[in-house]
Amino acid sequence: MSDVRIELRYFARVRELLGRRADTRTFPAGTTIADIWQSLSEECPSLAGLTWKPSVNQEYATPETVLHDGDEVVFIPPVSGGTASLAIDPPTHRSMICIRFVGRDQR
């Protein structure tokens, strides 16, 4: 199995603690997001207490996600102030798919 090349981008507190905006790094195949965080935390111990939610290629993901060659990974600090709750629920995934098709037809 070959290595994977991962694009890491850092924002907000993570960027300030690491002192840089981005890295391109090579990891063994099978590497997860949690593995990368582990290695960053070893390099920069002050990262250890931070809360984050990962994104892969600009979509939210879970720390267990196994990465593929060329993936862009970001450790996203919480963006929500306190206990933000919605007065109205978002539409279901199924209805989102429908509107995409409808939207295209109309253009």
Partner 1 sequence: MNGQPPRLCRLTHDPIDANELISAVQTVADGAVCVFHGIVREDSRNRKVRFLDYDAYPEMAERKMHAILDEVAIRWPDQRAAIVHRLGVVKVGEASIIIAVGSPHRGESFDACRYVIDRVKQEVPIWKKEVFTDGEEWIEGS
Residues 6+ apart with CB under 8 A from 26: 3, 4, 5, 6
| 1 vs 104 by CB, closer to partner 1 | 104
Tell whether residue 27 is a contact of partner 1 (CB under 8 A). Answer: no
Tell whether residue 78 is a contact of partner 1 (CB under 8 A). Answer: yes
The one among 5, 23, 65, 77 contacting partner 1 by CB under 8 A: 77
The distance of closest approach from Cβ of residue 39 to partner 1 in the complex, given in angstroms and rounded to an integer, is: 21
Instruction: Report residue 97: phi and psi, to 5°.
Output: -65, -40
Give, in degrees to the nearest 5, the angle at Cα 36 between 25 and 71: 55
- The Cα 16–Cα 72 span in angstroms is 19
User: Footprint of partner 1 on residues 32-51 (CB under 8 A)?
Assistant: 51
Amino acid at 97: I
Positions touching partner 1 (CB under 8 A) are 9, 11-13, 15-16, 51, 55, 58-59, 74, 76-82, 84-88, 90-91, 95-96, 98-100, 103, 106-107
